Amino acid sequence: MWAPGRYGRVVASGPAGALRSATDAHRPAAMTQPLLLVDDEASIRDLAAEVLGEAGFDVQLADDAPDPEATAWDRYGVVVLDVGLPSLDGIELCRRLRERSAVPVVMLTARDGAEDVVAGLEAGADDYVTKPFVPEVLVARVRAAARRHATAEGSGTVSIRDLVVDESSFRAYRDGEELNLTSTEMRLLAVLARNAGEVLSRQRLLEEVWGYDYLGDSRLVDMAILRLRGKLRQGDCDAEYVSTIRGEGYRLDP
């Protein structure tokens, strides 16, 4: 279990939305980019910064939503984003961020109702942690998001109908047009494509795409599938590529 110790510390402060350094000298080997933590509640923000700093992340803090258009989102390895922010709702911020970057987003929220979780995932979040959070859970989910992002590229190309999934470049195309996928959506499509015609359970998808099992939530899978289906139907295409097998899981149809 997590216990108090030497954690990352806030070394500077600033106006609402200003970024602040919040780490000690250690960082995980796979995490070469800083982590951005956005939360307006000082006690939650500082505890999360300490926990993540002790885990080795280079944490930068914001107490309000950064400008979604002006922020260089790709400089971050992960964004941990509170839902309830003063100037811009975290879900809307995530939606605008997603228009500009595929950086992994972990929502940090006190709203654990299904509709609130779904709203965050539908906006493009890769995962979520509810408040009050268990430190080990927060660290595990952020580490998983960072690891997925850092090791995104795979190998090989799979072609299914007019769909091409190129893991070597971490890109996918339908009818010659590149799909605008987040890193999670791309990993999900790659796993489905590698196993085309096979029914994959939600549990297996959690393990292969999100990188954990008991910490997972099947809503992550369902919402990611929903978003992926929408992007596969881009333009005038109404073809279905991913089938739901009731009580079993999902299958990419060859």
129-180, pLDDT tens digit by residue? 988 899 999 999 898 888 776 655 555 788 998 899 998 788 899 988 999 8
Q: What is the pTM of this model?
A: 0.68
pLDDT reading at 58 higher than 70: yes
Q: CATH 3.40.50.2300 spans which residues of the chain?
A: 20-150
Average pLDDT, integer, range 31-49: 90
> Which pLDDT value is given to residue 251?
97
Average pLDDT, integer, range 49-74: 94
What distance in Å separates the CA atoms of residue 18 and residue 65, rounded to the nearest whole number? 9
What's the CATH fold of domain 157-252? Arc Repressor Mutant, subunit A (1.10.10)
In the chain the beta strands, taken as DSSP E runs, fall at 20-21, 35-38, 59-62, 78-82, 105-109, 127-130, 157-160, 163-166, 171-174, 177-178, 242-245, 249-252
Instruction: Retrieve residue 4's tokens.
Output: 């108090």
19 within 8 A of 49, measured Cβ to Cβ = no
Q: CATH 1.10.10.10 spans which residues of the chain?
A: 157-252
pLDDT reading at 95 higher than 50: yes
> Which pLDDT value is given to residue 22?
46
Average pLDDT, integer, range 13-17: 37
140 within 8 A of 212, measured Cβ to Cβ = yes
CATH 3.40.50.2300 fits 20-150, yes or no: yes
Tell me the Cα Rg of the chain: 18
Does 49 or 145 have the greater pLDDT score? 49
pLDDT reading at 184 higher than 50: yes
